Chains A and B, each alone.
Chain A
Amino acid sequence: MMNVASHVGSRPDLIANAGWGGPPARQRKEHIYSSLLGKKDGEIRCPRIIRLGFHSPGDDLLEYLNDLIGAEGYRRSEDLRDDITIPEKPYICRPTKQPAPCSLSAPRTEIFRHALMLGLCTSQLYDPSRPVIWTRNSLTRVVDLFDPEGFYA
């Protein structure tokens, strides 16, 4: 709609609007939710394998975990592979805003499993063949891992 404004008479507050008379444009919106990951209906099934993440408000996780593995006799995070069982297949990794599942008061094996797997995740991929990389960022994420095989159903 084209508006042509001009002052009318001596009243600068009165505006002549050439678009008068037509119904105005209305803004519409619609919420769209759709996901192929973790859904339980339809033919495509990419189930969630696990949710990873630490519930640790205020703690420096990197320092805490490095101290913890040292106390258990591990020289570096990579050594955890010797004792902790983790999935051998790569998975799709997606950050989530859901609450973290693992608390620092959990059994150490569980803490190490989450820490080890988080160190093997990029923001898209859990890849057990890559080196374990622990950073403050990587350890404070909460992520879901999905098995993508069903995508090609």
Chain B
Amino acid sequence: MTTKSIPHLPDLGVYGFDRYEPIILAALITEDPMLLIGRSGTGKTFLLNSLSEALGLEHRHYNASLISFDDLVGFPYPDAENATVRFLETPATVWGAESVLIDEISRCKPEHQNRLFSLIHERRVQGIALTKLRYRWAAMNPAANDQTDVESYTGSEPLDPALADRFSLFIRAVDWDDLNEDERTAITSPAGEGKITTDDGRLLNRIEECRQLFIQQVETCPRNILDYVTTAVTALNGAKVRISPRRARLMARSLLAVTLVKGTFQEKISRLVLECSMPHTTWGAEVSKNILDAAHRLSWEAASKSEGRWVDLIFAEAKFERKLDILLKHCPSPDEGTQAITQILASEPRDRAAAFAFAVYPAAAMGKLPIGTEGANDLGRVATPILTVDAEVTWSERGSVKAQHHPSYDAFAAVLESLSGARSERARQFFSWCLVEKIAVTDPPGLEKEIEACAKLLKTRLMK
């Protein structure tokens, strides 16, 4: 076992966080805000206080449910010239702190949230910079609408997503059932109660060493890390899991830091960084494991083979015009283009696959897409029947209700109403085909917009 692979947390008397240790170390390296979520008595506060002791930090521990503003800043008084207000510092005020733990952040009074917001996000209070502050940590019980078991945490409110988005990493503290036998024994042992945590500087040295490397590398973040994060964020947003651009940046920092901790860019730990970067738990939502797995698979592929990354990006993107744009810009050969087209047609629901083929087939037929004849024929098989519709549509009139048109007609007519010119003609053609083929279109206005965006993109390309 190398020195790097010896875990740090058991040395500090912290058990049950082994799985998350690289993530915790990453948060110490980036100095980005970290939030621990778990049931009471799972060691969240103990972990964070122990980290501050091991790193020799000037630490402040506040309970957000009890905190008052004076506790944070001290008693205000005018300076000698009556020109400005100063604050009488106490051992509890935040001014000299290097690390701050805001416990029970989800029980915070709403009026304090804004103050904590600037503390966490900007390292400022009342607009005054906290120049020594490096670490901003918080802990909370699961949000009240995330109670799936016996204990209920009344008063643990869902966090404001804007506040949650300022945290970089979210770590779920494990409970008794998830601990192994050794961890249970170690936790149960009453030895060491009240002692200052120390590991003879091993953690501090490791963090300082990695922090130096991090500062050097963060300015030219490795391409595979950027590829992983951009693909993951695109895929998650495509799956309707909103991830902000800020979070993408935070995720890249965390992934770089965790790569420095592990020595190499590794798949398993990247998946864990992705999972721990999701803020949704803090407001009681959950990102499904399947969505995370799918996003990770695409991202890992994109990061592993930069020459094939464009394909992964195509599948990470939800909108057709973005897929098309990637195809046009990055497809290296007609064979690979054909393969991408085949996969797009196979992976989309029928209405969407048809819309895509309809929008791009004319350009493919003209040889304006970077795809082979087979790809153009695949598109043609789907699109040709849409280009000319000549069929009967049938429907039932029930009871005394007179239905002049097919039930889907109104939804299509509502979209067509606001359109004109070539755009209207394309939309009318597509929806006519949907009617005769009895295609249920989930989002007619959205799909029409995607057809139009593709047509616009191709028109621009054809004019070049």
| Chain B residues near A90 (CB-CB < 8 A) | 365-367
Q: Are A31 and B395 in contact (CB under 8 A)?
A: no
Dominant SS at the A interface?
Answer: mixed
Question: Which range contains the number of A residues in contact with the other chain?
Answer: 35 or more
A152 touches B384 (CB 8 A): no
Within 8 A of B (CB), among A98-153: 122-125, 127, 129-130, 148-149, 151-153
Would A94 and B390 be within 8 Å (CB), given that A26-B396, A36-B429, A46-B362 are in contact?
A: no
B29: shortest Cβ distance to chain A, in Å?
51
B393 touches A (CB below 8 Å): yes
A34 touches B362 (CB 8 A): no
Contact A35 B380 (CB under 8 A): no
Q: Which secondary structure dominates chain B's binding surface?
A: helix
Report the Cα distance A129→B383, complex, angstroms: 21
- CA separation between A127 and B391, bound complex, in Å? 29
> Which residues of chain B come closer than 8 Å to A153, judged between CB atoms?
421-422, 459
Interface residues of B in 392-410 (CB under 8 A from A): 392-400, 403, 405-406
A32 touching B387, Cβ below 8 Å? no
Question: CB distance B377 to A92 under 8 Å?
Answer: no
Per-position binary interface string of chain A over residues 1-33, scored 1 when its CB falls under 8 Å from any chain B CB and 0 otherwise = 000000000000000000000110111111111
Q: Do residues B426 and A44 form an inter-chain contact, with CB atoms below 8 A?
A: yes
The winner among A37, A44, A91, A94 for most chain B CB atoms within 10 A is A44
Answer whether residue B196 sits at the interface, using C-beta atoms and an 8 A cutoff.
no
Q: Which residues of chain B come closer than 8 Å to A122, judged between CB atoms?
A: 373, 377, 380
A143 → chain B, closest Cβ, in Å?
Answer: 11
Residue among A33, A89, A122, A125 with the highest chain B CB neighbour number at 10 A: A125
Whole-angstrom CA separation of A80 from B320 in the bound complex: 41
Contact B432 A30 (CB under 8 A): no
Q: Which residues of B contact A94 (CB under 8 A)?
A: 384, 387-388
Candidates A32, A124, A151; contact of B381 at CB < 8 Å: A124
In the bound complex, what is the Cα–Cα distance between A1 and B176 (angstroms)?
Answer: 57
B384, A34: Cβ atoms under 8 Å?
no
Known: A32-B389, A90-B365, A92-B380. A23 touches B458 (CB 8 A): no
Quick one: which of A33, A43, A124, A125 contacts B422, CB cutoff 8 A? Answer: A43
Which of B366, B394, B395 is close to A148, meaning CB atoms less than 8 Å apart? B366
- B380 and A124 contact, CB distance less than 8 A: yes
B451 → A minimal CB distance (Å): 11
User: What's the Cα separation between A124 and B376 when bound, in Å?
Assistant: 8
Residues of the A chain whose Cβ atoms lie less than 8 Å from the Cβ of B373: 122, 125, 127, 129-130
Residues of B within 8 A of A58 (CB): none
| Cβ-defined contact, A28 with B394, below 8 A | yes
User: B429 contacts which chain A residues (CB < 8 A)?
Assistant: 34-36
Q: In the complex the two chains form, is A22's CB within 8 Å of B399's CB?
A: yes
Chain A residues, CB < 8 A from B399: 22-23, 25
Interface residue? A42 (CB, 8 A):
yes
Q: Does B297 contact A (CB under 8 A)?
A: no
- Quick check: A29 and B394 within 8 Å, CB to CB? yes
Asked if A42 and B425 sit within 8 Å, CB to CB, the answer is: yes
**How distant is the Cα of A31 from the Cα of B390 in the complex, in angstroms?**
7
CB pair A34–B389 under 8 Å, yes or no, is yes
The answer for the CA separation of A148 and B365 in the assembled complex, in Å, is 7
A151 CA to B364 CA in the complex, in Å?
Answer: 12
B64 at the interface (CB under 8 A from A): no
Interface string of B442-459 (1 = CB under 8 A from A): 000000000000010011
Give Cα A12 to B421, complex, Å.
64
**A22 / chain B contacts, CB cutoff of 8 Å:** 399
B425 lies within 8 A of A32 (CB) = no
Cβ–Cβ contact B389 & A30, under 8 A: no
- Could you mark each residue 360-381 of chain B with 1 if its beta carbon is under 8 Å from any beta carbon of chain A, else 0? 0111011100000100110011
> Smallest Cβ distance from B360 to chain A, in angstroms?
10
Tell me whether A36 and B387 are in contact (CB under 8 A): yes
Asked if B388 and A44 make an inter-chain contact with CB atoms under 8 angstroms apart, the answer reads no
- For A151, list chain B residues within 8 Å (CB): 362, 426, 455
Query: Is B221 engaged at the interface, CB distance under 8 Å to the other chain?
Result: no
- Which residues on the A side are within 8 Å of B397 (C-beta)? 25-28
Closest to A151 in B: B362
Q: Tell me, yes or no, whether B462 is within 8 Å of chain A by CB.
A: yes
Contacts of A30 in B (CB 8 A): 392-393, 405-406
Contact between A152 and B365 (Cβ–Cβ < 8 Å)?
Answer: no
Q: How far is the CB of A79 from chain B (nearest CB, A)?
A: 22
Q: Which of B365, B384, B393, B403 has the most CB of A within 10 A?
A: B365
In the complex, how many angstroms separate the beta carbon of B382 from the nearest chain A beta carbon?
Answer: 9
How far, in angstroms, from A134 to B312 measured CA to CA in the complex?
39
Partner of B380, one of A32, A33, A125: A125
- List residues of chain B with CB within 8 A of the CB of A29: 392-395
Q: Establish whether residues A152 and B367, one from each chain, have CB atoms under 8 Å apart when the complex forms.
A: no
Q: How far, in angstroms, from A33 to B428 measured CA to CA in the complex?
A: 11
Bound complex: CA of A125 vs CA of B380, how far in Å?
Answer: 7
Q: A30-B393, A94-B384, A149-B362 are in contact. List 7 more A-B contacts (CB 8 A).
A: A23-B399, A31-B393, A32-B435, A44-B426, A123-B380, A125-B377, A148-B361
A-side residues, CB < 8 A to B, are 22-23, 25-37, 42-44, 46, 89-92, 94, 122-125, 127, 129-130, 148-149, 151-153
- Shortest beta-carbon contacts, A-B, top 8: A124-B380, A148-B362, A151-B362, A35-B388, A152-B459, A43-B422, A153-B422, A34-B432
14 cross-chain CB contacts under 8 A:
A27-B395, A28-B394, A29-B395, A33-B389, A42-B422, A43-B422, A91-B365, A92-B365, A124-B384, A148-B366, A149-B366, A149-B462, A152-B362, A152-B455
